Structure 1
Amino acid sequence: MTLFEFAQTLYDSEFGTSLRESELAFPIIEGLHLIGLALSVGLIFFVDLRLLGRFLPEVSVDRILQPLRPWLFAGFAVTLATGVLLFIATAVKVVVLPVFFYKLGFIVLAGLNAAWFEYRWGRRIDTWSDSAVLPGGIKAAGWASLTLWSLVVITGRLIPYLSYQ
């Protein structure tokens, strides 16, 4: 089964059709997707700006990151769940768009950056969190995160505009 055939199966399914044709379900799911993005990506921006020394530099990274983590993960969970639902409802329209695959690629790269940050720096946060000047690798991870998540949002916003042409 090709990717397009799989997308067509999802799109034609009773569930996909009911999501797409519902006056309430699709806009509610889309709204929840944006709220999840605001929670996850919005809070990540604050953390990244702190890593770069541009936001609350007098506050340790740990004091900013730790209380936000549950909200970040909740935002990601909402975004992932609603993203899957949006995909099911619009699968045949989005799998033909290169921008959709760019978005997925940027999500993967942002996730790899986050995993690298956690592996390399997150496990030892207590050793560097209070430093006035953070190591270059931490700043690089912050810049990469800001860039990649911005690209995720931009490519995601392009999808509805490019899919109606």
Structure 2
Amino acid sequence: MALLDFAQTLYDSEFGTGLRESVLVFPIIEGLHLIGLAFSVGLIFFVDLRLLGWFLPKVPVHSILQPLRPWLFGGFALTLVTGVALFIATAVKVIVLPVFFYKLGFIALAGVNAAWFEYRWGRRIGDWSEHTILPNGVRRAGWASLALWSLAVVTGRLIPYLSYQ
């Protein structure tokens, strides 16, 4: 099955049609998607700014990251679930947009960056977390995260504008 055929199947599904045609449910799903983004990407920005030494430089990284983790993961879960629902409802319109695939690529790269950060630096957070100036690799991960999540959000916001042309 080709990608466009798969998108058409999702779009034509009872769930996709019902969601797309609902006066209340679709905007609620969109709103929840934005709330999930605020919790996930919004909070990760604060962590990234700390990694760069620009936000609360005297507070240990683990003191910022640890209490935020449940909110970050909850936000990512909410964003993922609502994003899939929004995709199903609009699949044939967004699957033809290059910006949609850019968004997915930026999200994937941000995920790889986060996994690399956890593998390389997260295991030894106690060794460097309390320093005002953090190791170069930690700061590079912060820069990459800021850039990739910013690009994912911008490309995501372009989707509704480009899909109506």
Q: Provide TM-score, normalisation by structure 1.
A: 0.99
Is 1:125 the counterpart of 2:125? The answer is yes
**2:47 pairs with 1:47:** yes
1:93 and 2:85 correspond: no
Q: Structure 1: how far apart are the matches of 2:160 and 2:85? A: 15
Kindly provide the CA deviation profile for residues 112-147 of structure 1, in whole angstroms up to 9, marking residues without a partner as x. 000000000001101100012110000000000000
What is the distance in 1 between the residues matched to 2:4 and 2:47? 38
One-letter amino acid of the counterpart of residue 130, structure 2: D
Q: What does residue 141 of structure 2 align with?
A: 141
- Unaligned 5+ runs, structure 1: none
Aligned mates of 2:79, 2:132 — CA distance in 1: 34
Tell me the distance in 2 between the aligned counterparts of 1:89 and 1:42. 25
Distance 2:17 2:78 in 1: 21
How many residue pairs match? The answer is 165
- Structure 2: which 5+ runs fail to align? none
Give matches, 1:70-89, under 5 Å: 70-89=70-89
1:152 aligned partner: 152
Q: Which residue is equivalent to 2:29?
A: 29
Separation in 2, partners of 1:88, 1:113: 27
Letter in 2 for 1:137: G
What is the TM-score with the length of structure 2 in the denominator? 0.99
Aligned equivalent of 1:20 = 20
Q: For each residue in 1:43-75, what CA deviation from the matched residue of structure 2 results, as whole angstroms up to 9, or x when unmatched?
A: 000000000000000100000000000000000
CA distance in 2, matches of 1:144, 1:13: 38
Which 10-residue stretch deviates more, 125-134 or 59-68? 125-134
Q: d(CA) in 1 for partners of 2:51 and 2:103? A: 24
Q: Write the letter of the residue equivalent to 1:91.
A: A
